Every structure is written in structure tokens, then in C-alpha cells.
Amino acid sequence: MSTMNVEPAALIKADDWQFQYRQKSNCSSSNLEMLSYGTFDIKPGVTSDELYHHQEEILLFCIKGKVNVQVESQSFTLSTYDTLFIPLTTPYTIENTSSEQALLVVCKAKAENKYEPFYSSWEQFSVDERRIRHLKGKDVYLMFDVTEKADKLMAGYTIYQPYTRAWPAHNHTDQEEIYIFTKGQGAMEVYADEEHKTFVHSVSEMDAVTIPILNFHPVFSQSDELHFIWCIAGQRYWVGDKNKDFMKGDSAELTT
């Protein structure tokens, strides 16, 4: 009889899973031309297969848990609100190193050029005044800014104090966006003009709203802080840096 060590089999039930990507929107379903959005769910102790995006650069946002992302020969550890830019055609794997199920937001934009990975730490960036824009009732945190190299993507977090609204309402001629709400409850409007304001919705944690070019998109918080990711595809600028009237709040509407 052979003394060879034989490994046991594994039973995988129909509803078992370890790692999954949930497509939330793509260009055909969201009226966007460049930007799509999804989530990665990762069970504790699980490492994904190698992932790869042939036509897109991506940003990962860690919402829950703690993960290690291996990007070719580099390793990055992401905790809550940390972000990571992964360039075009760059393979990566994700390992959930925490004891809870991890959740990552994935924003993708079509790209042509390959750049370097870029990691942004919420712990560091949330206290770095160079990365923060203070507006009345809210703060904007620039996690992936124009100082970082990419074809189209920019992103950050906005935190509203309770009972705050976006002012002035603004739109863009050369940027499309997705807002992904990560904490709190509020409301959001998206409209081309006041006469045709038909998109008015309440929003809660992990709801998302796509914002095609030339739509105004004000947000309203309620009784608690309201947090959301804003991810841009298009020309790379933040509205308040390009147009100082946005910071002053002197007009009812503003176009960039």
C-alpha cells in the first residue's frame, strides 16, 4: 500500500463563495461614456485570483475590512477609506487580512496610457490641509488629485455636516461622475435645468448616483453626517480649484 500523503477533497455548495465582483453600472446602463462602477466582496482570509483590466484604469476604495493588494511586485495595505489607483494593464490580487467580510468600491474609466500605482492613506490625507477643501457645512478630501498621473480618473470623499446642502449647484462640460454614499442618509437631485428636475431621490449607505455631463447634482444631508465618494472621469480638475466662485458660494448655479 502506498504511503503517499493524499489531500482530502473539498465540497463546494451551490451558494458558497469566497470573492465576488458585483457590477453596479457600466456605460450602457448609466448614460455615462467613460465611467463604470462595481464592488468587490471578499470573505475573511480569502485571496482573489489575479485581476487585470485591459482597457481601463481603476481606483479601489476600501469601505469595510482590511485588505492587502498585490500590484505586480508592490504590496499595499488598505483600511477604511484608503484608496489605490491601479494603472491600465496591470495585474493585481486582493487578500482580505481582517476577520470581517471586506468591501471595496471599484471605479473604472477607459484609458490609453499606463502610469504608476498610487496609494492614498485616509489617516494621513484626512489631516493634510493640502488635500482638504473646506466649504460651508462640508469638507472635500482630494484622495486622487491632478498631482497624480492618470488619463481620466480623479476622486475623493466629501463629508457633509448635518442639515447641509450643496451650494452653489454646479455642472461640468467635460467631466462625468459617480457619487457613492458610504455613511448617513440624505437626498440628491440631478437635472439639466430647473424646469426638468425629475431626478430627486433619497440616498442611503451604498446607494450610488451617476451624473452625466452637463447635469447639476446637488446633495442634501439630513440629521447625521453624510459621506460619499465622488469619482470623476474626463478632464482632470476639481471644480473649486478651477472656479473660485464655487468656494465663495456667491452664485446659485455654476458651470465648469
Q: Residue ranges per domain, the chain?
A: 19-120, 123-246
First to last CA, the chain: 78
Enter the C-alpha cell of residue 148. 497624480
Supply the pLDDT for residue 152: 97
Q: Distance (Å, rounded) from C-alpha 138 to C-alpha 118? A: 26
Supply the pLDDT for residue 253: 73
Fold classification of 19-120 is: Jelly Rolls (2.60.120)
Classify domain 123-246 by CATH number. Answer: 2.60.120.10
Enter the C-alpha cell of residue 196. 426638468
At 110-154, the pLDDT tens digits run 999 999 999 999 999 999 999 999 998 999 999 999 999 999 999
Q: pLDDT under 50 in the chain at which residues?
A: none
Q: Distance (Å, rounded) from C-alpha 165 to C-alpha 114? A: 38
Supply the pLDDT for residue 236: 84
Looking at residue 14, its amino acid is: A
Supply the pLDDT for residue 59: 98
Supply the pLDDT for residue 238: 75
Supply the pLDDT for residue 243: 66
Supply the pLDDT for residue 1: 58
Q: Say yes or no: do domains 19-120 and 123-246 share a fold.
A: yes
Q: Distance (Å, rounded) from C-alpha 254 to C-alpha 256? A: 7
Helix (H) and strand (E) counts in the chain: 4, 20
The strand order across the sheet containing 74-78 reads: 74-78, 67-71, 92-96
**In sequence order, what E strands does 184-225 have?**
186-190, 199-203, 208-211, 219-221
β 102-110/35-42 pair status: antiparallel
Enter the C-alpha cell of residue 71. 500590484
Q: Distance (Å, rounded) from C-alpha 216 to C-alpha 197? A: 10
